[in-house]
Chain A
Amino acid sequence: MYARWGLTALLAWPVLTALIVLFIPARLAKYVALAASLIEFALSVPLWWTFEPSTGMQFIVSHRWIPAWGIQYMVGVDGISLFMVLLTTFLMPLSILGSWSYITKREGGFYALLLVLTTGMIGVFVTLDLFLFYVMWEVMLIPMYFIIGVWGGENRLYAAIKFFIYTFLGSLLMLVAIIMLYLHAGRVTGTYSFSYMHLLGQASLLGSGAWWLFGAFFLAFAVKVPMFPLHTWLPDAHVEAPTAGSVILAGILLKMGTYGFLRFALPFFPSVALDPTVQLVIVVLALIGIIYGGLVAMVQPDFKKLIAYSSVAHLGFVMLGIWALTLQSVQGALLIMINHGISTGALFFLAGMIYERRHSRLIEAYGGLARVVPLFAAILTIVSLSSIALPGTNGFVGEFLVLLGSFRTYPIATALATTGVIVAAAYLLPALQRVIFNPLTQEENKRLPDLTPRELIVLVPLLVCILWIGIYPKPFLRRMEPSARQFIELVRPGATQSQPVTPAGGQP
């Protein structure tokens, strides 16, 4: 029953409730939306236990949709998408709770859009049909566009349209690539279908065409990750978006890019992805992301912008880990994808909470908050440390695995990337110091109220996850290992045999 309907329910429930939220009185909207998202989370939790790591893709449901083009409704989950789905359903109730007092106008619309966005995001992660994938990929653009554009900050219109057009450009080229791949596979096999399994492995006969197709996929995903130099939409969108928008943008939307690489770009075009020039370009871009992102974050006066640039750096680690193609690095990359969602999500929540009190995002507007709002200061410290990747927090496990695994493939690049960890300390710790330590000089800051119980409810689950993954990541690693192995085998057959298993992962 659950295996058959679970994923479909996860996709359908938010849209249905979004319609309800839209038509009930605005003051009830947030309660209904919160309840809906909690039910959605409850619906997704059984995935964690019923998921069987060794079987690969599971919970597959397939149904004809547009037979004329070989399009079907096909969804499924493996060790990669499982965590992305859970991360989405986990962050959504928190985002709704985090917007509780922040969103005051047109509440019905806001929460309805958040729910529609949930469907779009889960859809991207579970779909196994490239047409459906493209539809979901685009559909989630509209709610985000509205969330930034209607409920954002002063410069929201610019940020919204920039976000839209960057993503739209990349994804439309991917659309042509998907169609070409489909036609090619159709000519070779005689079956025209957009099914993921059908298209997998068909690109090997494309010859030089594969380069163009890979380029189109690469562009679509690299914009989303975002990779340097396509990252410029990110700071604008992050800064202007309301708290929930920033959290979802950083926590989940960016992961769609790296997920796209893991699921589509590399497995479809292994020969292009393994080409030395392509490897060099991508590793260099990832490195630039890590170091440049960190350095730019260092000089940001705006706290949200600082977090935004730190995202560029974190996602650089993910890209390095994916391209290194060792079991450890890929698992590390997957872990960073989860960790970044949790830690950066928490940072954006904290930034939003203090913004609601003080109406400033500038770091220099604060100082000495540890005395005024001790609870806030303590949580901010823990979350910052996890973002810096201090041992004992989740950030450490992910980045350590990536560096360990990548060293085997790219020793020099990995050595350089290690400085990124130091840079991370160099931008977050001074900011932390200027916000919560230093003398309490500003008059407005002396009467700030500390975190309310509602805000604590938002933050505590995130803190629990930070420590859980930091101390005992085995449940995560165990579930993702076979899928990571399968991913590597798809790209570089025979590569995982000679490698030791992940220290923390254990044998399946």
Chain B
Amino acid sequence: MSLDLSSYRDLMLSLLPELVLTGWTLVLLLFVAWRHHTVRDLRIAGGLTIAALVSTAGVIWWLWWHSTRVAGIAGMVAADDFRWVTDWIFLGAAGLTVLISFAYLEREQLLAPEYYVLLLFGTLGMMVMTAGADLMVIFLGLELMSVAVYVLAGFDRRRARSAEAALKYFLLGAFASGFLLYGIALIYGATGTTNVGLIGAQAGMMGSPSVMLLVGLALLIVGFGFKIAAVPFHMWAPDVYDGAPTPVTAFMATGVKAAAFAALFRIMIQGFAATPAWHDMLWWLAVITMVGGNLFALAQRSLKRMLAYSSVAHAGYLLVAVTTGTPAGTSAFLVYVVAYTLMSVGAFAVLAAKGRNGESDVTIDDLGGLAARRPWLAFALAVCMLSLLGFPGTAGFIGKWYILIAATSAGQTVLATILVLTSVVSAGYYLPVIMAMYMKPEPIEAAHVDVVLDRWGRAAVVAAVAGLLLFGVWPNRLLDLARSAGESVRPTVTAPTSRQ
């Protein structure tokens, strides 16, 4: 169906998923205002969250089924397959996070159901980001998401590291928002609009881009660089990922990152198709992020920190997909993010089961002998590690393969080569996890006795591992979906000169 954004009815329809989720969030907020004391309240709140996520996904499915599109180009919101697919990814990431949160919150005595409210607000922010076809809307979504996640990072307020994480994230996040806003202001100054499509049209008419536009673009990329934790803007990531409660870390590594990337894709492809300068900027950002992230991760002993740095490295791989600027690159991003969400959540779920007190002290060697005690858990973590490594048979390989195809067909052979070489480096830190679990003895007697996943955590891990293996062997449906979504993000104006 075609939407005319000048009519209220169609505007409401185009924002239906966000409205539904907002409604649910408010209901949940009301609920926790009355009931926020016992474990039972916490569980009910979690259940309500799941219901909210599922029903929102259903609404999106309905819109997707009717191929909802916006007529005209100058709307504030976009309605295309890219938005629906990324929405599903955010909802999936949030859903998996909820599943691994149940046991975690109870175990760590974080009996505050507001956690789920914040999670929903964060998800809502992500959905607004990917829906926005205007820099202001995107910024609005970004702030909504960020503020919720700042609080979530410090949710374990009794632990100093968690508070430190929240403060660090907040300060640097605010800084990044400043960059982003200033970039938007300069872009507005150069083009006279904040609408992504119109920016593209204006820049296309300009011929060679003005300095103001280029500086604005650079600041925009810096702002997003912070959010996606690209080297050299990644400094906050290890400490924040390390300090935050593990389910929150999983949410940050998957949902938050995916949302920032989704917005970046839309802005770059639709707004700056005529300004090829961003390809060079992102090219370098991708290279140093891949090299830096992988090398830093190699030096980590703590599993959680290693995963934090590995998430920096994966941001580098995703930047390769952005740099191509082609529909294939966008599709590759979607496939990769699906895989990355599954494998990250799986890994963090096992880590949450293993650790206590924030898990920052679980070293890789602490996993020694896990395979003998908890064979299924070890198997799940091994699959996640192999998938992170990009090993055939897992979804991580399909994602990496897609990025490689997209990069190579866009002529970025050097980038593809750097990607595979840094992937070899990553074997140096993913394999020791497998090695510890399967080939080393237990560090102390009965080290893994209390490593258990509850019913919901198990469901999350089973879903993640099954998804990884399924998409690794039979990715056709996912590829078709990603392809149509990738092709739906098109430059509104084609570049006057072909990019090099």
Contact = CB atoms under 8 A, between A and B. Distances in A.
B424 interface: yes
Interface stretch (A149-157, A258-266, A301-309): A149-157
A176 B439 contact: no
Interface string A161-196: 100110011001101100110010000000000000
B266 to A, nearest CB: 23
Contact of A69 (B392, B405, B408, B435): B405
B475 A66 contact: yes
Contacts, number: 73
Interface stretch (A5-13, A133-141, A383-391, A468-476): A133-141
A68 interface: yes
A465 interface: no
A168 B424 contact: yes
Contacts of B416: 176, 179
Contacts of B480: 68
Nearest to A183: B409
Contacts of B438: 146, 149-150
Nearest to A152: B439
Nearest to A170: B424
Given A68-B476, A160-B435, A168-B424, A176 B391 contact: no
A337 to B, nearest CB: 25
B421 interface: yes
A276 interface: no
A256 to B, nearest CB: 15
Given A150-B439, A164-B431, A179 B476 contact: no
Nearest to B393: A139
A60 interface: no
Contacts of B439: 149-150, 156-157, 160
Contacts of A285: none
Given A160-B435, A176-B416, A66 B391 contact: no
Contacts of A68: 476, 479-480, 483
A176 B408 contact: yes
Interface string B387-411: 0000111000100010011001100
Given A146-B438, A150-B439, A183 B423 contact: no
Contacts of B467: none
B404 A179 contact: yes
Nearest to A151: B439
B280 to A, nearest CB: 22
B428 interface: yes
B495 interface: no
Identify the interface centre among B401, B427, B432: most chain A CB within 10 Å of its CB.
Answer: B401
B392 A134 contact: yes
A149 B435 contact: yes
A175 B427 contact: no
Given A68-B480, A139-B392, A179 B408 contact: yes
A180 B428 CA distance: 27
Nearest to B475: A66
A500 interface: no
A290 B432 CA distance: 35
B393 A135 contact: yes
B336 to A, nearest CB: 15
Given A134-B392, A165-B428, A66 B405 contact: no
A68 B335 CA distance: 13
Contacts of B432: 161
A179 B439 CA distance: 35
A179 B420 CA distance: 12
A339 B475 CA distance: 41
B338 to A, nearest CB: 15
Interface in A61-103: 66-69
B417 interface: yes
A32 B474 CA distance: 30
Contacts of B409: 183
Nearest to B392: A135
A157 B479 contact: no
Interface string B415-459: 011001101100110011001001110000000000000000000
Given A172-B420, A183-B408, A66 B479 contact: yes
B417 to A, nearest CB: 6
Nearest to A137: B392
B392 A183 contact: no
Contacts of B28: none
Contact of B424 (A134, A149, A169, A183): A169
Determine chain B's interface SS by DSSP, over half rule: helix
A19 interface: no
A142 interface: yes
Contacts of A145: 431
B476 A67 contact: yes
A139 B423 CA distance: 16
A172 B423 contact: yes
A397 to B, nearest CB: 37
Interface in B453-490: 475-476, 479-480, 483
A264 B334 CA distance: 32
Contacts of A138: 391-392
B427 A165 contact: yes
Contacts of A173: 417, 420-421
A154 to B, nearest CB: 12
Contact of B431 (A161, A169, A172): A161
A56 to B, nearest CB: 28
B332 to A, nearest CB: 12
B320 interface: no
A168 B483 contact: no
Interface in B93-111: none
Interface string B108-145: 00000000000000000000000000000000000000
Interface in B266-308: none
B380 interface: no
B413 interface: yes
Contact of A176 (B404, B440, B483): B404
A156 B439 CA distance: 9
B391 to A, nearest CB: 6
A168 B432 CA distance: 15
Nearest to B382: A142
Contacts of A161: 427-428, 431-432, 435
B386 interface: yes
B415 to A, nearest CB: 10
A176 B476 contact: no
A464 to B, nearest CB: 37
A336 B36 CA distance: 75
Nearest to B432: A161
Nearest to B423: A172
B420 A180 contact: no
Nearest to B405: A179
A69 B479 CA distance: 9
Nearest to A212: B413
Nearest to B416: A176
B420 A175 contact: yes
Identify the interface centre among A68, A134, A146, A160: most chain B CB within 10 Å of its CB.
Answer: A68
B417 A176 contact: yes
A139 B393 CA distance: 8
Nearest to A173: B420
Given A68-B483, A156-B439, A180 B391 contact: no
A172 B421 contact: yes
Given A157-B440, A183-B405, 19 more contacts: A68-B480, A68-B483, A135-B397, A139-B392, A142-B386, A149-B435, A157-B435, A161-B427, A161-B428, A161-B432, A164-B431, A169-B421, A172-B423, A176-B404, A176-B413, A176-B417, A179-B416, A180-B413, A183-B409
Interface of B: 386, 391-393, 397, 401, 404-405, 408-409, 413, 416-417, 420-421, 423-424, 427-428, 431-432, 435, 438-440, 475-476, 479-480, 483
12 contacts: A142-B391, A145-B431, A149-B435, A157-B435, A161-B432, A161-B435, A165-B428, A168-B424, A172-B421, A176-B420, A179-B401, A179-B404
Closest 7 CB pairs of A and B: A172-B420, A135-B392, A149-B439, A68-B479, A138-B392, A169-B424, A179-B408
